[in-house]
Structure 1
Amino acid sequence: MVPPTATAAEAVGTPDAPLTKDPVKDTILTPRFYTTDFDAMAAMDLRPNEVELEAICEEFRKDYNRHHFVRDSSFDGAADTMDPETRRVFVEFLEQSCTSEFSGFLLYKELSRRIKTKNPLLAECFAHMARDEARHAGFLNKAMADFGLQLDLGFLTANKAYTYFKPKFIFYATYLSEKIGYWRYITIFRHLEQHPESRIFPIFNFFENWCQDENRHGDFFDALMKAQPDTVRGPIASLWCRFFLLAVFATMYVRDVARKEFYEALGLDARDYDKLVIRKTNETSARIFPVVLNVDHPGFFAGLERLVEHNAALSEVVASEAPAPVKLLRKLPHWIGNGLQMARLFLMAPLRSSAYQPAVR
């Protein structure tokens, strides 16, 4: 797949003389880069919900956070006070987050460029969202430079594999990515407001305004799906909504538990944090998806825990010194176990959004 023409230089400046960090190896848990059918996106009829989309575009034009992402003196020397283990997990968090934000920038920038003449309103919305994601990625990469590292975003642009998704799959995936990003950031921000002693780095001071960008982006995809009602109506749409909800929730839960030390450094329990974020994102998704997952079913989080166990076992196999054929044989039961567990979770009866009442906690 030919990578987009949007460049890293459009997103970020170059930090001063940090070491370039090798990108992590792609796995099912690492952020992906996406491409789609640009002609189909350009041909979309927005008239069924054009008024709402125009209102959201006007919100984007106001650019509420244009003066927000400005580093201050609190960053000076902050990296030097961090103990080695916290430093390791925090840099990992920065890298994953920067890669994810940069992925959004590339997709939105290319969409804006490719559909500009045929669908100007849609193109403008994507251009504004690319602007936001560029700021986020640049801010994160500059934070990595405080630790003497940076991501080579130009290298990632040209060399990372691109996953093709049909437009409707882009809608589901990016809607959930933006909304879950909102709940992740605002949950951390509110926790650190109450426990400022756990604010290990000044970047968390920016999370309240930051997550509002994520929320607006999610609202845009909500409005876009309303303009393409076949994406959220009918039995096939319901199946896809369930699939993407489960994929996003399971990936986040397994990844966060695997790096629970980062959340512990913030005074959070990774499992409790993820359960809250999942419940809130599920509740938010009920506003647009026809069905949502029954996350209060006793088997739901128990099933996610089994995925965690299989993932931990797979990591042990990868870290072992066994020959490659032996590793493959040892991995097979855990791959199969993950597949069966995901199938069980997917087949769990969903809840109709029109009657959804989240459990009071």
Structure 2
Amino acid sequence: MVSTLQPPNPEVFQTETKSTVQETLLTPRFYTTDFEKTANLDLSAQEKGLQAMLTEMRTDYNRNHFVRNEEFERSWDHIVGEERQAFLDYLERSCISEFSGFLLFKELSRKLKGRSPILAEIFQLMARDEARHAGFLNKAMGDFKLSLDLGKLTKQRTYTFFPIEWVIYTVYLSEKIGYWRYILIYRHLEQHPEHRFYPIFRMFESWCQDENRHGDIFKALLRSQPQLWDTWQSRLWSRFFLLSVFATHTLTVHERSIFYDMLGLEATSFDREVIRETNATAGRAFPVMLDTDHPAFFDRLHQCSNLNLKISEINRSHQPQILKFCRKLPLVLAIFGHLLRLYLIKPIDAEALRGVVR
């Protein structure tokens, strides 16, 4: 719980440095892709837009916004127990996610240098932003006597290969859903500053601007490739990635419900607002949107979340692994059943709505 604020303890505590993280289905992954295919992407359909965004990225509007001020220079030992752990879990996952983006964008920039100059520079500047975010989050963790050894994580973690088409879909969605998470938390805390228990939340407006710019870049990449939005296969893939990202968000938010309680937010309502806004935004890039107004949509997502919480409870138990597996299997199958039924809900044709005032 967050107890009454106490004066800083003069005792010096040793900061724990982590070089490994617990791997779960929801832990952010590190990715690699087909760099040769990326270098050969035809960007002509969106070249003017990409050039304009490159100019904006060079300006670096947020270069002075992520600076620790005197608000951080105090003890945070009054945040204790489950609430302290919930906030640390949030910071850790967010840091790993930002660092994952940094690694992917940095490698894309390096591999594309001299072959696709505009993409090479765009990815270099996006890597700059992601590194800034990850470093700031890691310093925030340090305020709670914990930090991540990002260098060792780079070498020790397994990298997952995604085709560049999958990268474009997933990064676009992750940046846009990140935008809506940050801006909705920021707006809420502007109205309820009594819940702003740590100063990093003041920076969420600048943070979401970076997320939005990155998402716009990937929207341009997506729309430059007709096979990603103008084929029947692209409609199926769009549904798949939308549902994957939304399901992951629902499971993660409800795993972190204590953190959202600390912010004065109700986890389920927050999750649904983020998904609705992201789905509407995705309709500007994807050929389809999910029908979030379908009566079964959020009900089934919430059932997936409840099943996932039961799985997490089993994982924390001290039972033999074989017994854990047998107990988890029907829950996992039930989650996949709900997701399959959600996937089969008829989507909304975003292309047909393009240009229509909504």
Q: Shorter-normalised TM-score: what interval? A: over 0.9
1:340 maps to which residue? Answer: 337
1:124 maps to which residue? Answer: 121
Letter matched to residue 144 of structure 1? M
Counterpart CA distance in 2 for 1:62 and 1:230 is 32
2:173 maps to which residue? Answer: 176
Counterpart CA distance in 2 for 1:315 and 1:260 is 14
Within a 5 Å distance, the mapping from 1:196-215 to structure 2 comes to: 196-215=193-212
2:158 maps to which residue? Answer: 161
What per-residue deviation string (whole Å, max 9, x for no partner) do you get for residues 305-356 of structure 1? 1111211221222222322222211111111111111111111110111455
Letter matched to residue 335 of structure 2? N
Q: Secondary structure at the match of 2:331?
A: helix
Counterpart CA distance in 1 for 2:21 and 2:353 is 39
Counterpart CA distance in 2 for 1:23 and 1:67 is 31
2:258 maps to which residue? Answer: 261
Letter matched to residue 342 of structure 2? L
Letter matched to residue 299 of structure 1? A
Confirm or deny that 1:52 pairs with 2:44: no
2:70 maps to which residue? Answer: 73
1:316 maps to which residue? Answer: 313
2:101 maps to which residue? Answer: 104
Counterpart CA distance in 2 for 1:23 and 1:352 is 43
TM-score by length of 1: 0.92
What per-residue deviation string (whole Å, max 9, x for no partner) do you get for residues 250-275 of structure 1? 01101111110000000001110010
Counterpart CA distance in 2 for 1:356 and 1:246 is 20
1:236 maps to which residue? Answer: 233
Letter matched to residue 74 of structure 2? G
What per-residue deviation string (whole Å, max 9, x for no partner) do you get for residues 93-146 of structure 1? 100000000000000000000011100100000000000000000000000011
Confirm or deny that 1:86 pairs with 2:113: no
What per-residue deviation string (whole Å, max 9, x for no partner) do you get for residues 171-204 of structure 1? 0000000000000000000000000000010000
- Which among 54, 58, 67 is matched to residue 61 of structure 1? 58
Stretches of structure 2 that go unaligned for 5 or more consecutive residues are 1-12
What per-residue deviation string (whole Å, max 9, x for no partner) do you get for residues 270-311 of structure 1? 110010000000000000101010011110011011111211
CA contact 2:19–2:153 (8 Å) conserved in 1:
no
Letter matched to residue 45 of structure 2? P
Give, in angstroms, the shift of residue 22 of structure 1: 5.1
1:12 maps to which residue? Answer: none
Q: Label 1:356 to 1:86 Cα distance change in 2 as closer, same or farther (>3 A).
A: farther
CA contact 1:36–1:166 (8 Å) conserved in 2:
yes
Counterpart CA distance in 1 for 2:319 and 2:263 is 36
Q: What percent identity do the matched residue pairs reach? A: 53
Counterpart CA distance in 1 for 2:327 and 2:195 is 40
TM-score by length of 2: 0.93
Stretches of structure 1 that go unaligned for 5 or more consecutive residues are 1-15
Q: Secondary structure at the match of 1:298?
A: coil
Q: Secondary structure at the match of 1:25?
A: coil
CA contact 1:53–1:223 (8 Å) conserved in 2:
yes
Letter matched to residue 228 of structure 1? Q
2:297 maps to which residue? Answer: 300
Counterpart CA distance in 2 for 1:299 and 1:159 is 41
Letter matched to residue 290 of structure 2? L
CA contact 2:91–2:141 (8 Å) conserved in 1:
yes
Counterpart CA distance in 2 for 1:319 and 1:227 is 46
Counterpart CA distance in 2 for 1:302 and 1:227 is 36
Give, in angstroms, the shift of residue 78 of structure 1: 4.8
Letter matched to residue 135 of structure 1? R
1:7 maps to which residue? Answer: none
CA contact 1:61–1:128 (8 Å) conserved in 2:
yes
Confirm or deny that 1:113 pairs with 2:110: yes
CA contact 2:247–2:301 (8 Å) conserved in 1:
yes
Counterpart CA distance in 1 for 2:101 and 2:128 is 10
- Which among 194, 218, 221 is matched to residue 221 of structure 1? 218
CA contact 1:78–1:201 (8 Å) conserved in 2:
no
Give, in angstroms, the shift of residue 17 of structure 1: 6.4
Q: Secondary structure at the match of 1:220?
A: helix
Q: Secondary structure at the match of 2:76?
A: helix
CA contact 2:19–2:152 (8 Å) conserved in 1:
no
CA contact 1:32–1:162 (8 Å) conserved in 2:
yes
